[in-house]
Amino acid sequence: MESTSMASIQSFIRDGIWHIHPSNHVSAIEVRNEMLGVRLFARDEILWESQQGKEVNISKIWNSIRRIGQPPPWISAVWSIFSIPKNSFFFWLAIQDRLLTKERMSRFGMYNDGRCMLCNGHNENASHLFMECGYATQILQACPVTLTRDWRDFRQGNFLANTESNIKRQIAYLYIGTTIYYIWQERNRRMHNNGNNRSSRVLLFIIKREVREKLFSCKRFHRAVENNVNLITLLY
């Protein structure tokens, strides 16, 4: 084949058809047969799984190779319309029991006394830390929307005790995510920095302030307030 290692494909095409020099070399014959089996078009395009004429992007490729399962029932709460990314990340970890609580630490063979850093009266796991502990209970009870009181309900996606409007559900999800973030932060402060403990009352003030700041920055919340001004009272 009269060519070089740097030759372009275009050099083998004339008038829209393959123009390949004859050769008796075995490799050249194999390449020539492969090339002749490729149809030439006016322009090249990237295809994925023979999706001719359809735009190909990373999203389509990813969705075609990944395993798509049923989303968990809590997903809409963790990544709600008012979610704060850092809070949602810890909400996501907590709801799957992926935070390194003392219970998990003991499972990994890490020695610890096992007692909750907030109440010092019960073994620390996700269910106790974020739901059953008296410290957490005082904060959750202050949520402007009534919540269920069982961690298993949370994991099943049942967060609210009563049927509420969509905007109130979203406010509750924001409140829960913010609460989990700051309770975990307070737990770590007490575990790694002795002293300077914050009471549940102080933490509640911080949580409500962050919830208000987030909602007041959202146009969607402002539109909701135009229809129902009483939503403002939920934040205080």
Which amino acid, residue 26? Answer: V
Contact, 199 vs 183, CB < 8 A?
no
Contacting residues for 225 by C-beta, under 8 A, at least 6 apart: 231, 232
| Radius of gyration (C-alpha) of the chain in whole angstroms | 30
State the average pLDDT over residues 160-187.
Answer: 96
For residue 171, pLDDT over 50 is answered with yes
> Quick one: pLDDT at residue 3?
67
pTM above 0.85, yes or no: no
Cα separation, 142 vs 140, whole angstroms: 5
pLDDT at site 53: 56
Are the CB atoms for 175 and 143 separated by under 8 Å?
A: yes
Hey, where are the domains in the chain?
A: 9-65, 75-235
pLDDT (mean) for 84-90? 98
DSSP letter assigned to residue 131: I
| Percent above pLDDT 90 for the chain | 63
The string of pLDDT tens digits covering residues 63-83 is 888 888 889 999 999 999 999
pLDDT of 91: 98
Q: What is the pLDDT of residue 214?
A: 97
